[in-house]
Amino acid sequence: MASAIQQFDSEHIWHPYASAHGGVTPYVVSDAEGVYLTLEDGRKLIDGMSSWWCVIHGYKHPVLNAAIQEQCECFAHVMFGGLTHEPAVQLARDLLDVVPQGLARVFFCDSGSVSVEVAMKMALQYQQARGETQRVQFATVLGGYHGDTWHPMSVCDPHTGMHSLYQGRLAAQHFLPRPQSRFDGELCADDVKALDGFFAAHGDEVAAFIIEPIVQGAGGMWFYHPDYLRHLAERCRKHGILLIADEIATGFGRTGEWFAINHAVITPDIMCIGKALTGGYVSFAATLCTDAVADTISAAEPGVMMHGPTFMGNPLACAVASASLGLLRNEAWREQVAAIAAHLQAALSPLKDWDAVADVRVLGAIGVVELHEAVDMAVITPMFVEAGVWVRPFGKLVYLMPPFVISAAELQQLSDALVAVLKAYCDV
Ligand code: PMP
């Protein structure tokens, strides 16, 4: 029986990728603390998703709550055109301390997708400023995801993404094969061959290569080899193509390094961050670039970076993001993430032997069970809720990305629930 909240919600509110005519009724959250979501009916669920990967410190964290409350007492927002403030400057300082060396300038924006829009505009302006006006296309690999707004959609995987819906309207980009080299395996010669073939054919048409370093997230939860990124970076540099690292899903410790690109020890020309930037408190993101990119754009007509959202550099977001970085600064997350990785490896690996399972992979605080068939969300979602956990698969992928602060006992409960539900669902 739907509650009053669910009733109104179903009649008037859109949810992500949802129909206006029903589907799985959303559960109503009435409270959240630590790793727990409390539902309207009092049930408590361990959140295995970190609310789409951003709530790394858990809910209702006293330090993050205090940071946003204190800033609220000063001022919640001021425009960023012609004005600046201490929270923005502090956050930029904090970020530049931890991002790959060489990134020197920060463009604050509202969400991950917008940060990718900004990165793509930055790349085009940079190439235009250099007189390379023929460089109007972007390159990427299959299986990627970079956001739901217009230009990011054009570099999302053309099959699992939304290309067919908007055919003829999205910019046509270059897609290389998904890197086959597994993170925990060897670099495949075919991956390097594909890079070489592409750069030889299109090295002078492309403005930038955009890629999710190491972990392809929403496009398939695939982990590839760091050497692929090294080869890519080398070729981009040689051909005058900018490398855009989309660290929106991977940034801030999730893969066991501050940023996934650190596994390859390279610095991109442009980097997008979001999601865990504010510890999952408010929507916020940033696009960082090197001085070379910023200076080139600023030295040519029109001499400015053409983007400026209303809520750019929002002080509440900056304050809570700085507080989140403060929590990460002692690097205790390294041990937490390593412990989650070890647990997920032990708990999920045995599922490899199941007929219904195609692959199991774990990297940092990410554990993925890839099935042969797409899951039926209407069936499996209530099973997870009944088991006391919040897990939201997509397609064939059932995965865990818990908050870093999850205790050993909570993690055991979460993985036990995942295995039990999958066992029942797959009829093992
Ligand atoms: N890039 C990547 C790699 C992402 O995972 C996401 C979000 N899942 C985005 C971009 C878009 O971010 P947002 O949903 O905040 O717009």
pLDDT in tens, 340-358: 999 999 999 999 999 999 9
Q: Which residues contact 161 (CB under 8 A, 6 or more apart)?
A: 145, 153, 219
Which string of b and e fits 109-147 if b means at least 16 CB within 10 Å? Answer: bbbbbbbbbbbbbbbbbbbbbeebeebebbbbbbbbbbb
pLDDT in tens, 201-232: 999 999 999 999 999 999 999 999 999 999 99
- pLDDT confidence of residue 54: 98
pLDDT in tens, 6-16: 999 999 999 99
Structure tokens at 315: 């002080």
Give me the DSSP letters along 144-178.
Answer: ----SSHHHHHTS-TTTSSGGGGTTTSPP-EEEPP
Q: Using the mean position of ligand 1's atoms as its centre, give its distance from the Cα of residue 303 in Å.
A: 29
Task: Give the SS3 label for residue 344.
Answer: helix
Closest CA to ligand 1's atom 13: 112
User: How far apart (Å, rounded) are the C-alpha atoms in residues 69 and 75?
Assistant: 10
Q: Are 197 and 33 in contact (CB under 8 A)?
A: no
Task: Give the SS3 label for residue 263.
Answer: helix
Q: Report which DSSP code applies to 230.
A: H
Residue whose structure tokens are 């927002």: 77
pLDDT in tens, 110-119: 999 999 999 9
Q: Using the mean position of ligand 1's atoms as its centre, give its distance from the Cα of residue 413 in Å.
A: 28
User: How far apart (Å, rounded) are the C-alpha atoms in residues 384 and 351?
Assistant: 17
Which of 294, 216, 290 lies closest to 250 in space, CA to CA?
A: 216
Structure tokens at 104: 């020197």
Closest CA to ligand 1's atom 14: 112
Q: Are 140 and 224 in contact (CB under 8 A)?
A: no
pLDDT above 80 for 163: no
Average pLDDT over residues 42-68: 98
Structure tokens at 366: 């990410």
Tell me which residues are annotated as active site: 17, 145, 246, 275
Q: pLDDT tier at 1 (50, 70, 90 boundaries)? A: confident
Model pTM score:
0.98
Pocket test of ligand 1: the residue of 140, 146, 261 to mutate, having most ligand atoms within 8 Å of its CB, is 146
